[in-house]
Homo-oligomer: A and B are copies of this chain.
């Protein structure tokens, strides 16, 4: 993991804004848009990657296309010793689990799970969650419809 301390200027923000919207934008296109040479853009992008400011580039795939029509959030109460996130790490290993958050309050986790259908969810709870020691209880919230789902951050306009 590289350093995070790094002063981003307005040009970096613009690059991040463009890349956040379309990660496949050419260096040449970015250069044209910002009125700079492509090589300068390349240097900055490389630096943003090295400094772990750009973490990765991913293609967002339509879940329906892969028949993953079910989305659920599950609150999990666990008997973890504070600071030792053993249960959290085990949860993170489950492929269908997209997110694992350690939440305040009931010494628990909130996880986001994508399965084919209700049967897939039951299956996951029985076979994957059921085998993790330390889980005391779960409370499941089913998503009927997703109105918005993106990872985009609000990028400052001035520093």
Contacts and interface: CB of A to CB of B under 8 A. Distances in A.
Tell me the interface secondary structure of chain A in the complex: mixed
A148 B98 contact: yes
Contact of A100 (B52, B73, B148): B148
Interface string A124-159: 000000000000000001111111111111111000
How many protomers of this protein does the assembly include? Answer: 2
A44 to B, nearest CB: 13
A19 interface: yes
A73 to B, nearest CB: 6
Interface residues of A, number: 64
Interface string A22-50: 11100000000000000000000000000
Contacts of A21: 56, 58
B146 A102 contact: yes
A57 B57 contact: yes
A58 B61 contact: no
27 contacts: A16-B61, A21-B56, A22-B58, A23-B57, A23-B59, A24-B24, A51-B65, A55-B61, A55-B62, A56-B59, A56-B60, A58-B60, A71-B101, A73-B101, A91-B148, A92-B147, A100-B146, A100-B147, A100-B149, A101-B143, A101-B145, A102-B143, A102-B145, A104-B143, A109-B147, A110-B141, A151-B151
